[in-house]
Amino acid sequence: MAALLRTYLLPLLALCAVPALTSLPGTCYREITGPRPSHVLTKPPHEHLDPSSLPDNFDWRSVNGTLFVSEATNQFLPSPCGSCWAHASTGALTDRFIIARKARVSQTKLSPQVLLDCASDAGSCYGGNDVLAYKFIHEHGITDVTCSPYQGVDNYYWGEIPCDQMMCRACDLASTCKFVNGTKYYVSEYGSVQGEDEMMAEIYARGPIACSIYAHSPAFLDYKSGIIQDPTAYNYTTHVVAITGWGVDQDTGMKFWVGRNSFGTAWGEEGWFQLHRGVNCLDIEEHPCAWAVPKL
């Protein structure tokens, strides 16, 4: 798996050039050149939640025995694509719809392909930005994978059809396919948090977030299990993941984040990982993470 990631991921991370976004050599997470956009209507949790009041261990994979998260995905199948930003943002938002509905209503996973098809300002198969993905969803909505399955390609050059009419497709028994009106999902608010305390408050109060990390580290690429540790001080981030919780190792006392990657279930702990928390491991805490509030 590590060899596969090096073969496909690193070349993809090295090819980045989208207006309004910038990247350092070898990165496929694209940072915004100016202020990060936001649409904030209510006071963010970190402005009123005392960090000391939060539990030592919290994970949306099991809250009082209930699973509130979606499954891991694979950005490399059926076609290798630097779309981690789309997978992380739609994955975290899917989780938040599950949370908002108290896991009582079935929630189909939101489609990262819609972002590749339509949100060219947010990114492409050569990288993108998580908060710009949420800006797009706030303005245009997004459909789910049942009518816009992941293809791992950029398809937004489709004649003169408006984007909001390309988000959902249907095919019949005669193999005739066409665009149709499907259920669209929106967000009422979106924005950013940064640093351990803000990240924890946001996750605890409203759900998973999308965060960028430095993924070229062997500790990440070759990860199998346990807590990822890397003391190197990197200067930029290259990949986006969903952070769904945190904990403290009972044996060592080491704090960690709980995250979901988009390299498939053959990577890590069935697509999940733990990352050393509170020490800016892989630059996660010195770079902004994106959040969005589902509109029900």
Amino acid found at 285: E
Tell me which DSSP letter residue 284 carries. T
Amino acid found at 39: H
**Phi, psi (rounded to 5 degrees) for 216:** -75, -10
Report the pLDDT value the prediction gives residue 218, as an integer from 0 to 100.
95
pTM of the model: 0.91
User: Strand 177-179 vs strand 169-171: parallel, antiparallel, or unpaired?
Assistant: antiparallel
Q: Which domains, and CATH codes, for the chain? A: 2-295 (3.90.70.10)
Cis peptide before 45 (omega within 30 of 0): no
Report the pLDDT value the prediction gives residue 261, as an integer from 0 to 100.
97
d(CA 257, CA 263): 18
The catalytic site residues sit at: 84, 239, 261
d(CA 103, CA 226): 28
With a cut of 70, which residues of the chain have pLDDT below it? 1-27, 156-159
Closest among 122, 125, 116, 106 to 149, alpha carbons compared: 116
Q: How would DSSP label each residue in 75-124?
A: TTSSS--B-HHHHHHHHHHHHHHHHHTTT-S--PPB-HHHHHHH-TTTEE
What's the gap between Cα 100 and its chain centre?
Answer: 18
Report the pLDDT value the prediction gives residue 14, as an integer from 0 to 100.
41
| Sign of the alpha-carbon torsion through 59, 63, 67, 68 | negative
